[in-house]
Structure 1
Amino acid sequence: MEGQAGIQPQINLNRRASVWKRLKRDKWLYILLLPGLLYFLVFKYAPMWGVLLAFKDYQPFIGFWKSEWVGVEHFRVFFQNPDFFMLLRNTLVLTLYNLLFFFPAPIILALLLNEIHRSFFKKTVQTMIYVPHFISMVIVASMSYVFLTTEGGAVNEMLYTLTGSKVDFLASPDWFRPLIILQTIWKECGWGTIIFLAALAGVDVEQYEAAVVDGASRWRQIWHITLPAIRSTIIILLILRMGTILDNGFEQIYLMMNALNREVAEVFDTYVYALGITQGAFSYSTAVGLFKSVIGVTMVLGTNWLAKKFGQSGLY
């Protein structure tokens, strides 16, 4: 027993020496890590104390510490609010549309680009589809207005010429969600292919050569070689996507929303803005934001658990 008691401190000393040895050996890598670490500490972790506002009746004039603690009162009011289920429905429907239509779009586009063997043409197409990512959402909304407005919009003028009638795309509740998804696909689909193209670059070429020898068609090669090779990347991105299940992009929704489509357009992000900024309900809006964060963490952990349950690699 005395020998074992003496061995444990020695093991701890050896571990500490090993850690310091690695730190000394890779010191420049850790120095390069510092800017990113400081960014997350200052802009991500330090502001987290602000979630305490959700449990206070915050009054700006008397300060944070003197404001009264109200516990979960704001959450109770929020869940009993008649708008809660409307907000939840609108948010989840948009999220479902994004998962069904936007999430697969970069994968399909990356597979198509991977089939292009002419380098110049491939790079040209990539450049063209990357450009929309750098365009402000304000510009995208303005372009949508110019093309779709009933007062001289190019699309409506074409419809009027062909059918003799116009469609009010911008004010119609039925067209709001399709427009949001189309805007998202046009703007972000090309940029989303970068990760998948990087994953495709690591696929062993010999597997394709063996498949050709066996008589496999291009579709069979994609199904049995390409997709399995990037499956882990798809799953990890899906898990991360589930973390933002209640985030639909405030700027885009706010710019496309109006009084006529508000019933299907109002989501948690715009609701928080309306209450927290325009009406000064800081504590209540913080409670709504905290609710979103808790749901996001839960979805990430649940999706990661399911992925590992089915034998796939997860985040941890």
Structure 2
Amino acid sequence: MNKSFGRRLGRDLKYNTALYVMIIPVIVWYFIFVYKPLFGTIMAFFDYSPVRGYEKSTWVGLEYFVTYLGGRNFPKHLRNTLVHSACTLFIGFPSAVVLALLLNEVRVKWFKKTIQTLTYLPHFVSLVVCMQLVKQFCMTDTGLFNDIIVMFGGERSSLLQNPSLYMPIYVLSGIWKEIGWSTIIYLAALSAVDEQLYEAARLDGAGRLKQAIHVTLPGIMPTLVIRFIMNVGTIMAVGYEKSLLLYNDSVMEVADIISTYMYRMGIGGQIKMYGLSAAVDLFNALVNVMLVILANKLSRKLTENSLW
């Protein structure tokens, strides 16, 4: 069997040499930026200092895990992280699906392409620039949102310093930036749905809504399930970049998440606690792996679709 595999691999390399050469940079990138950093997870078990290195750093075992998980800030960080993730998952995820379904129904090509371009564009703009625009829109004196509020008889206020408004701004800004890009995979899946199924549904008297429910959604269900499982795997790893760019002392109680705490402990604070930061990151990763496994099992049982 090994010889047979070797011969097949040799023939494949011979006839697809260009493809294998093209994939080499990807493999190198993954090794340098994904797999090699995994060895750094042992930092979570050391009182690590770049000056001392691993050999001279003190072994602390699970001390940092116990310190953080038993600390007074952990419940707040966990709650905020889950709220951020739940809002992003259960509002942002369906938003992209709905937009894809709506775009799929548009028959005027120039209008469809215009909407796609406008929704795709924010994805290609730096997150720093996008969040700076959001902050400008939310400014008290010159912000667009406050101008609209005043237009309808309201009063100006510091929107980003209001804890009750921080989460809506966080979620909506994320949807605005990524909704267009997220629709690409759904539009590709929609294009693969058999047109004969739509014709059969129309013959049975189904309108657009019933066609979407009974034909379109089942047709793209495998794609939806896979995307959902992958999103579940990031519940604990909410990106700290956007939070760092938006939050301030006034909203810290609702905006401070596990990832931002990890950043402050690692490289963002005056006191560098690399071991503690690595321990928090490892905790996040382990929880995310368990969530992916659980979501995959539930999906396989409920929908017969899964990642593996």
TM-score above 0.5: yes
Residue from 13, 24, 30 that aligns with 2:10: 24
Q: Is the 8 A contact 2:197 2:215 kept in 1?
A: yes
- Establish whether residue 295 from structure 1 lines up as the match of residue 287 from structure 2: yes
Question: Aligned residue for 1:250?
Answer: 240
Give the Cα separation in 1 of the matches to 2:110 and 2:142: 38
Give the Cα separation in 2 of the matches to 1:138 and 1:179: 15
Percent identity of paired positions between Structure 1 and Structure 2? 40
C-alpha RMSD of matched pairs (Å): 1.4
Structure 1: runs of 5 or more not aligned = 1-14
Q: CA deviation at 1:52?
A: 0.4
- For residues 191-270 of structure 1, the aligned pairs below 5 Å read 191-270=181-260
Question: Aligned residue for 1:44?
Answer: 34
Runs ≥4 residues deviating over 4 A: none
- Establish whether residue 283 from structure 1 lines up as the match of residue 275 from structure 2: yes
Partner letter of residue 97 of structure 1?
Answer: C
Taking structure 1 as the reference length, the TM-score comes to 0.92
Q: Is the 8 A contact 2:141 2:156 kept in 1?
A: no
Farther-moved stretch of structure 1 (138-147 vs 68-77): 138-147
Q: CA deviation at 1:292?
A: 0.5
Q: CA deviation at 1:63?
A: 1.4
Taking structure 2 as the reference length, the TM-score comes to 0.94
Farther-moved stretch of structure 1 (169-178 vs 24-33): 24-33
Question: Who wins on radius of gyration, i.e. which is larger?
Answer: 1
Give the Cα separation in 1 of the matches to 2:224 and 2:154: 45
Q: CA deviation at 1:164?
A: 4.9
Post-superposition CA distance 1:90-131 (Å, at most 9, x none): 000011101111010110000000001222222222111100
Residue from 163, 169, 177 that aligns with 2:167: 177
Q: CA deviation at 1:25?
A: 2.2
Q: Is the 8 A contact 2:64 2:276 kept in 1?
A: yes
Give the Cα separation in 1 of the matches to 2:106 and 2:143: 36
Partner letter of residue 120 of structure 1?
Answer: W
Q: CA deviation at 1:198?
A: 0.4
Structure 2: runs of 5 or more not aligned = none
| Alignment length (residue pairs) | 302
- Establish whether residue 92 from structure 1 lines up as the match of residue 82 from structure 2: yes
Residue from 292, 297, 303 that aligns with 1:305: 297
